[in-house]
Amino acid sequence: MVAEGVVTVKRQTPLSSRSWISIDATGKRTVLDEDKYAIMQRVQIHARDLRILDPNLCYPSTILGRERAIVVNLEHIKAIITSQEVLIRDSSDVNLIPVLEEFQRRLPVVQGDAEAGEEDESPFEFRALEVALEAICSLLAARTMELETSAYPALDELTSKISSRNLERVRKLKSAMTRLTARVQKVRDELEQLLDDDDDMADIYLSRKLADVSSSINVSNEPLWYPTSPTIGSKFSRASRMSWDDEIDVEELEMLLEAYFMQIDNTLNKLTALHEYIDDTEDYINIQLDNHRNQLIQLELMLSSGTICVSMYSMIAGIFGMRIPNTWNEDHGYVFKWVVSLTGTFCVVLFVIILSYARFKGLVGF
């Protein structure tokens, strides 16, 4: 008997693991369907560097300078920048669409004023890196502004009315603020670490390294070649930097990174101010709750004091209300008035004494 309806299923490789978008110096956009080994050979980077850009893995924000490429992992922007093109992961993130358009618009060399004869002399890798930094800083700044717009009114409403709905709303906003702060902090730390190390910034000068290697090889009348191994390339990069001046000139890149470092630091300061405002609101709410708790304690003290006095009055009334034959119960009806009056007066005086003592000790505030 032959089985019917048998379907052969072929496992397909996810598109995100092979699909890349290439944008060259002219702004031309090309979709590449290559595996990781072809990409590694194309840009001369290690497998561990390419693994940082895997969208299925979670790596912190990173900017790495290699011999012939810059590995950029900034949130949704996962790119490899060379001196001639930018390779970007074809992600389904909607935030990546305007970034691709910005790459296409700004990567081509923009001619300056025709009369002045000026043009944009920034290296290709700097223009690409600037687009990536501007995109991520603008995105985080916009998220921070949205959070501020929602958080401050919610906190003010909570201070005016403490309710479960307002508390839950503030709790969600605080969780969102914590996650956003962590994202901003990672980008800021990466930029700060890059600014603190001149050698790391020198690794990002791809055009300068290629020009330096080309000139040194032409002087020695040897053919121009590029290292096929990233390890050899790293050694070659260090050797080429030794031919530079004693003080590595990274002023152009340093100014670029400092501009976006100040922007991301300003975003972090806004989040820090929001965090402090939330802490101040929590302290204010705790003070209010403590005040209400103290008022309840004062009320409990007053009720307890009144209960003691009434209990004493009830005890005396119970004693005189016993049906026990006694000689003083006979022909002494006027005693009832004195017992009731004196007992009531004694209880009231005792109540006043207790409250006065509590006020003297600072237990009540009235």
Taking the domains of the chain in order of start, what are their residue ranges?
Answer: 289-360
Give the pLDDT of residue 138: 94
Pick 164 or 247 by higher pLDDT: 164
Predicted pLDDT of residue 17:
52
The predicted model gives 250-274 an average pLDDT of 93
**CA–CA distance, 106 with 242 (Å, rounded to integer):** 33
pLDDT at 1: 41
Please return the burial class of 260, using the count of CB atoms within 10 Å of its CB with bins 0-12, 13-18 and 19+: buried
Give the pLDDT confidence score for residue 169 in this predicted structure: 93
Q: Between 27 and 238, name the one with better pLDDT.
A: 27
- Predicted confidence at residue 135, as pLDDT, reads 93
In the predicted structure, residue 116 carries a pLDDT above the cut 90: no
Which residues contact residue 64 at a Cβ distance below 8 angstroms, ignoring those fewer than 6 apart?
49, 52, 70, 71, 203
pTM, whole model, 2 decimals?
0.73
For the ranges 279-283, 303-307, 361-365, the one whose mean pLDDT is highest: 279-283
Which alpha helices (DSSP H) does 197-334 contain, by range?
Answer: 198-203, 206-219, 230-241, 251-320
Give the mean pLDDT of the chain: 79
For residue 118, what pLDDT band results from cuts at 50, 70 and 90? very low
Q: Average pLDDT in the 197-209 region?
A: 85
